[in-house]
Structure 1
Amino acid sequence: MPNKSDYEPQQPESNGTVDSNTVQKVTEFLETFFCLLCENALPPIGKDYLFSELVHPVFRTVDYRIKVWVTVKYIDEATIATQFSQYYSH
C-alpha cells in the first residue's frame, strides 16, 4: 500500500550576504517587474490578475550574483481568488 512520503524539502533562507540597501532596491525592482508582468504578459492566458505582494523573499549572494527565491501573490479580479506563484532567479 502506498504511503505518504515524510520528505520535507529545506526552505531557502536569507544568509545575510546581501546588504539591506540592496535588498530594498531589488525588492522595489521585483514589485515593479511583477506589476508590469500582470499588465503585459498574463493577458494571453485570459485571466485578469493583479499583483498583490511578494511573500517571504529570500536573498543570497552566490558566485558574486544576487539570487532571489520568492512567492508572488496575485489576485484574480474575476473571482477574487488568490493565486500564488513561486519564482527563483538563476
Structure 2
Amino acid sequence: MLKAQGEKEVKIRGQTIRFVQDLPAKLRERGKEYLLIRQALDKHEIKSLLRYPSVLWVWKEGRRWNLQSADEALTKLKEAHSKACNL
C-alpha cells in the first residue's frame, strides 16, 4: 500500500486515501536523535533523508552515505568537515 501511494495517488470512490506507517515509540525516538544533524545539513544545503528504521542518508558531491546511528553521522560529518578545512 505504501509503495502504491508513493507511485500515484490512491483513491477509493473518489476520495484520496493516505497511508502512514505506525512506527513504534522506540523507533520514533531514535529518529529524533538525528534532528540537530539534519538541521545543520539543511543549513549547509546538503541533502539528507531519514529512512526507517532510523538510517540517515546524506548526499554530497555525488556520494551517498548511509549512517546507521547519530553517533556515526556526527563522526563521519566531522571527518568530512575537517578534510574540507585542511584543503
Structure-1-length-normalised TM-score: 0.33
Task: State the structure with bigger RCO (CA 8 A, min sep 6), 1 or 2.
Answer: 1
Give the structure with the higher percent strand. Answer: 1
Give the structure with the higher percent helix. Answer: 2
Structure-2-length-normalised TM-score: 0.34
Task: Find the structure with the greater CA-based Rg.
Answer: 2
